[in-house]
Structure 1
Amino acid sequence: MNNIEIKNGIIPNKDLVYELYSNVGWTAYTNDMDNLMEAIENSLRVITAWDQDKLVALLRIVGDGYSIIYIQDILILEDYQGMGLGSKLIQLILADYSDVRQIILATDNTDKTRSFYESNGFRQAKDYNCVSYMKINM
């Protein structure tokens, strides 16, 4: 991970974004690349990680940046997972938005994802006596 460079505010080109999202199986996003690129470009913040010219990770947040942020996407190429890169990106966001009251995300309900986010200081909404709702249009 020593060769990985973290960049703030860099929007990767469509081909690199497609490769990353496809690699982690997020095909619901890659079905409409124009929409995905618009979403990335209109995010509150985008942080990317690069191994030379190879996009290996992307984290994007949406929100107002003052009272709430939502970690919309965090993707790490499979070959780069388990190296601490995801935690590094999360910790950057948590430090930069430490004054924001609510930092929210939704993720797959697996042992792996629960363990990852809990190890980075996140708790399930029920731990705050809250419930989350979502509606997904397909």
Structure 2
Amino acid sequence: MSIIYSFDSRPNADQIIELYDNCGLPRPTNDKERIQKMFDNSNLIVTAWHNDLLVGVSRSITDWVWSCYLADLAIRQEYKKAGIGRHLIKLTKDKVGEQSMVLLLSVPTAMEYYPKVGFVKQESSFILNRADWQ
């Protein structure tokens, strides 16, 4: 299986929605305009493609010198355990460089995944929640 990774190939909203629904990532996939804005306003996106099929995405917001918020990591269900997520994280980290940390908020189902790929669990975060989108 040949996976192509890209910083330049931006998926459209329909491809993103289909991927997020496939992998069970809780995002507002019933709101195509909002999904499109999420990607339009992100400044570091890495995609993984198998032929023309979007099989993975890493979507981040970064200042390039201090912090990078990894907002979404999504891997198509049938491609999980193939190292795609790990490689998307590596490409993200490589792109922001050594001066920048990569941080994220994990969905409950991925809490055991992130330590396996090098993330350290933190107890020092706070959140102001958004209004319900469901």
TM-score by length of 2: 0.88
Partner of 1:31: 30
Q: Percent identity?
A: 27
Q: Take 1:63 and 1:137, find their aligned partners in 2: how far apart are those partners?
A: 24
How large is the Cα RMSD of the aligned pairs? 1.7
Q: Take 2:47 and 2:83, find their aligned partners in 1: how far apart are those partners?
A: 14
Q: Take 1:66 and 1:78, find their aligned partners in 2: how far apart are those partners?
A: 33
Runs (4 or more) in structure 1 with deviation over 6 Å come to none
Q: Take 1:39 and 1:122, find their aligned partners in 2: how far apart are those partners?
A: 24
**Equivalent of residue 114 in structure 2, options 110, 113, 117:** 117
Q: Take 1:106 and 1:134, find their aligned partners in 2: how far apart are those partners?
A: 13
CA contact (8 A) 1:9 1:45 kept: no
Gaps of 5+ in 2: none
Letter paired with 2:125 = V
Gaps of 5+ in 1: none
Higher helix share: 1
TM-score by length of 1: 0.86
Q: Take 2:11 and 2:122, find their aligned partners in 1: how far apart are those partners?
A: 32
Letter paired with 2:122 = A
* Post-superposition offset of 1:65: 1.8
Taking structure 1 as reference, are residues 27 and 96 closer, same or farther at Cα in structure 2, changes over 3 Å only? closer
Taking structure 1 as reference, are residues 100 and 32 closer, same or farther at Cα in structure 2, changes over 3 Å only? farther
* Post-superposition offset of 1:47: 0.7
* Post-superposition offset of 1:40: 0.5
CA contact (8 A) 2:7 2:47 kept: yes
Letter paired with 1:120 = V
Structure 2 residue matching 1:125: 3-state secondary structure: coil
Taking structure 1 as reference, are residues 45 and 101 closer, same or farther at Cα in structure 2, changes over 3 Å only? closer
Structure 2 residue matching 1:35: 3-state secondary structure: helix
* Post-superposition offset of 1:27: 5.2
Taking structure 1 as reference, are residues 26 and 121 closer, same or farther at Cα in structure 2, changes over 3 Å only? closer
Q: What is the correspondence of 1:45-64 to structure 2 with a 5 Å cutoff?
A: 45-64=44-63
How many residue pairs get matched? 132
Q: Take 1:13 and 1:60, find their aligned partners in 2: how far apart are those partners?
A: 13
Residue 93 of structure 2 is aligned to residue 94 of structure 1: yes
